[in-house]
Every structure is written in C-alpha cells, then in structure tokens.
Chain A
Amino acid sequence: MGMVTLMGDESPLEVIVFAYGMEQGLGEFYSSAAGMIEDKDVAGLLRKLARIEESHKQKLLDLYMTLNTTGKGSEAFEAEIMNEMMEGGFTTKEFLEKNRPVMETTADILSLAMMLETQGLDLYLRYSQKAEDEESRRVLYRIAEDEKAHLAALGDMMEAIHNEK
C-alpha cells in the first residue's frame, strides 16, 4: 500500500478523515471484488459489506461535522480535505492491480478482505480508546463492532469454502 503510516499522534479530525478514506477504499474494493467472483453467496456478501461501508462513511462525516471548528461545510469534506489527506496513496484500481497475484481464487479474495477488515478494526479500536469525547468514542466503537462482524462473516465464508473442498 502507500507510504504514509498513522503514528498515533493524529488529531481526532485527522483520524476521522483517514477512516473515511479507508471506508471508501474498502467499499470500492468489495464492489470490484464482487464482480470478479462467480460464487453468488460470496459475491452477495461482498456487495452487502460494500453497502455497510457506505453507511460508515456517513457516520464518520456526521461525526466530523460535529467536531470540526474550521467552518468548512460537509461539501468541502471530500473535495478539499480528502484530497489533501490522501495525497500520495494508491487508487483502488492500482491497489487491485498490485494485489492481482494474490486475488486468483475466491479464497484469496476473502483472505485479502479479512486482512483489510482487520486493519480497519485495529484502527477503530485504537482510536476509540484514545478518543477524548464520549460521542467520538461511541461512534468509533460502534463502527469497530461492525468491522468485527464483517470479519466474522468473511471467516465463516472462508470456512465454508474450505469445507466444500
């Protein structure tokens, strides 16, 4: 992936913006991956996860607007802030190209999805513990719970595929 790593000293707003970008990337990844898979159950799960990541974006945007004191409106969020924050990263297309060698089978794709969800869960758990206000903590924990459920669903699907062999 890209060159920038969260170091743990980011402001709450920086974390929210970063998480928003991650959710967008996850959603795009799931939508693209669903189109690459013949197994209808797995493709259906990936599409469902893509929809949930979309709802996470809205929750994060709402939280951002609650906390932000810059005076910038929500319309400026993606246009300005996201471009600034995500500079130097990969597009989803580039990410998929880079990972194509490890996306040959359905199990490969599920494995990659589980890796990404784990990183998402880690991000939310780390920053929800550090959040100083109750609302941020509540929202970040809530999303962490969703990511944990996604991980379990992907794990169950992986197990089912393994048992079919």
Chain B
Amino acid sequence: MEWKQFFTPIKNMDTEEARAYMAEHEEGTYTLLDVRQLGEYENSRIPGATLIPLPQLSDRLGELDPEKPVITY
C-alpha cells in the first residue's frame, strides 16, 4: 500500500499566526472551533471557543456560521 494525499486543501496556522489573527480581528468576526473531546475542552481551551467534538462534527455543521472564517484546533 502507498499512502497519498487525500486531504481537502486547508490553510494551516501555527500558534503565533493564530494569536496574531485573533489580535487583529474583532471578536465575533470569526469562529474558534475546538474539535477535541469534552474532557480536553473542560481541562483547557482558548476563551470563547465553541466545542464540537470531531466525531459529532459532520452532524452539527449547521451550528457554524458559514459567513465567518473558522479557526479549528
């Protein structure tokens, strides 16, 4: 078997880029989406992040505002 790319192209940000993006943009103009599990979210998270654990994401996409950029972690 040979692995090859089967990802949908996405833009990746490192921590500093994400921090800079949030500093430069007003609250409410973007969505911070936390796709980790509940326990991880409760333990620590970026303030204001919305939790949708990855296994639930395909069923709950309607909860996201399609007009806003989404930063996912």
B37 to chain A minimum Cβ distance, whole angstroms, is: 5
A119-B7, A122-B8 known; A86 vs B2 contact (CB < 8 Å): yes
**11 A-B residue pairs with CB within 8 Å:** A1-B5, A21-B1, A21-B2, A86-B4, A91-B1, A92-B3, A114-B54, A123-B6, A155-B54, A158-B37, A162-B43
A155-B37, A158-B37, A162-B39 known; A125 vs B4 contact (CB < 8 Å): no
Choose from B4, B57, B58 the contact partner of A21 (Cβ within 8 Å): B4
Q: Any chain B CB within 8 A of the CB of A101? A: no
C-beta contact mask, A67-97 vs B, less than 8 Å → 1, else 0?
0000000000000000000111111101100
Choose from A3, A28, A88, A155 the contact partner of B55 (Cβ within 8 Å): A155
C-beta contact mask, B18-57 vs A, less than 8 Å → 1, else 0?
0000000000000000000111100100000000011101
A residues near B (Cβ < 8 Å) are 1-6, 18, 21-22, 24-25, 28, 86-92, 94-95, 114, 118-119, 121-123, 125, 148, 151-152, 154-155, 158-159, 162-163
A1-B7, A121-B58 known; A162 vs B1 contact (CB < 8 Å): no
B residues near A (Cβ < 8 Å) are 1-9, 37-40, 43, 53-55, 57-58
Main secondary structure of the interface of A (DSSP, over half): helix
Q: Are B1 and A86 in contact (CB under 8 A)?
A: yes
Choose from B6, B9, B53 the contact partner of A119 (Cβ within 8 Å): B6
Q: Are A125 and B58 in contact (CB under 8 A)?
A: yes
Residues of B within 8 Å of A155, CB to CB, are 37, 53-55
A114-B54, A148-B58, A155-B54 known; A2 vs B39 contact (CB < 8 Å): no
A155-B53, A163-B39 known; A5 vs B58 contact (CB < 8 Å): no
B20 to chain A minimum Cβ distance, whole angstroms, is: 24
Residues of B within 8 Å of A28, CB to CB, are 1
Q: Which residue from chain B places its CB closest to the CB of A164 in the assembled complex?
A: B39
B55 to chain A minimum Cβ distance, whole angstroms, is: 4
Choose from B38, B40, B43, B54 the contact partner of A118 (Cβ within 8 Å): B54
